[in-house]
Amino acid sequence: MIRLSAFQMQTAGPDAAANLAHIETAAREAARAGATLLVSPELGITSYGGGEDILALAEPADGEIVDRLGRIARETGVALVGGFAEKDGDAVYNSAVYTDGSGKPSVYRKSHLYGDYERNLFMPEKPSTCLFSHRGMTLGMLICYDVEFPENVRRLALAGAEMILVPTATPKGASGTFIAEKMIPVRAFENQIFIAYVNNIGRDGDFDYAGRSIIAAPDGTALATAGLSEQLLTVDIEPQLYARSRSENTYLRDL
């Protein structure tokens, strides 16, 4: 069992220092709630809506942003997943990093970029299987649009992921509501895994976000959901409680 916090966050725009400070405050609150892992939204550190200003904030995976997240994790005892613009040579990726402040950080790069806005800023990565262990549980990462392709979730589930963490920046609208309320529970159910789908909130540049973050269980139920304001969700992830669901819904075994 692990206790997970999901931070539906209002960013300060392309102000990495302010956003990191905001995440640190949330990490300290998560620690007080007994959580060992905090997930924040897509590009929550460098902002999703900052346009070309994001490129100036891009850093390598061993840069100050990831180093600062590691220091926060060490100080609070809460491992962090943070979204940032990652620079590698001349390329910039829409990335998320997991760090507990001790071992080597795990970095995932978004493979399915959404719309001209993202394609004009970032390089897509080939679909990859990013897995890591947290407190004995095997976790994976995807970013926003990636989770809408069932192949991505299935690939991670077949590789052994018990939970997938999905930082996202889903905008307001009917499709954003449908994805959070319908698609994410189905992705969890059809793979018999947990999914933490963690959105931005408020306005950032030209974007208004849908909020509606959700932590879905293997049986398709919502362990926690957020509304339309900044919110910290904290839940216990207990795989043993879903043994019956896995025994009845044997999709991975029967492929």
The three-point CA angle 113-191-97 to 5° equals 45
What span, in angstroms and rounded, lies between the C-alpha atoms of 110 and 101?
Answer: 23
Which pair of tokens denotes residue 37?
């892992």
Which residue type is seen at 236?
Answer: D
CA 80, 84, 89, 92: dihedral to nearest 10 degrees?
140
Q: Which of 24, 59, 118, 144 is catalytic?
A: 144
**3-state class percentages of the chain: helix first, strand second, coil last, to nearest 5:** 35, 30, 35
Residue 110 is among the residues annotated as catalytic for this protein:
yes
Q: Which of 59, 86, 110, 130 is catalytic?
A: 110
The question of whether 182 is a catalytic residue gets the answer no
Residues paired with 237 in a beta bridge: 2
Among 190, 204, 196, 115, residue whose Cα is nearest residue 154: 190
The answer to whether residues 74 and 66 touch, using CB atoms and an 8 Å cutoff, is no
Burial of 62 (0-12, 13-18, 19+ CB in 10 A): exposed
Q: Which whole-number Å values give the CA distances from 1 to 143, 213, 223, in the listed order?
A: 24, 21, 14
Whether residue 29 lies in the annotated active site: no
Q: Among all chains, which residue has been given the structure tokens 């620079």?
A: 87
Q: Which of 42, 86, 118, 125 is catalytic?
A: 42
Other beta carbons less than 10 A from residue 151's beta carbon: 9
The DSSP 8-state label assigned to residue 180 in this structure reads I
Query: What is the set of active-site residues?
Result: 42, 110, 144
